[in-house]
Amino acid sequence: MHPYRALITLQHLAFCSVPTLQGAYDVPATAADSIIRLLEGSGCVSCTASRKLAVTLKGGYDASYGAPGSDSSIQVPQLIRQGTVHVRGIKLR
């Protein structure tokens, strides 16, 4: 089993590690302009964005969440019902 990890960077919270992309999006502290950082190669399942906020998904981070070195992958479909999701360094599969 390849565990999926996300690191949420918020203005008022240093970071929070959660086991799923949906969990990262659903954390009550996730607010507009949050950045969700994904480990390189992580293959997470679908997520539904259903809140009125803009978040950025950034992929390809190593275990220390330093500068991204490669890509992360997420499975489709990803559903955006409300808000905006910006994506960088992520491949859809």
DSSP letters spanning 46-86: --EEEEEEEEEEEEEE-TT--S--S-EEEPSP-EEEEEEEE
- What does the alpha-carbon distance between residue 65 and residue 59 come to, in Å, rounded to a whole number? 10
For 62-88, what is each residue's pLDDT tens digit? 777 777 778 888 888 888 999 999 999
Tokens read off for 83: 């808000």
For 27-63, what is each residue's pLDDT tens digit? 877 777 788 888 887 677 778 999 998 888 888 887 7
Residue type, 9: T
pTM of the entire predicted model: 0.77
Residue among 52, 3, 4 nearest 24 (CA): 4
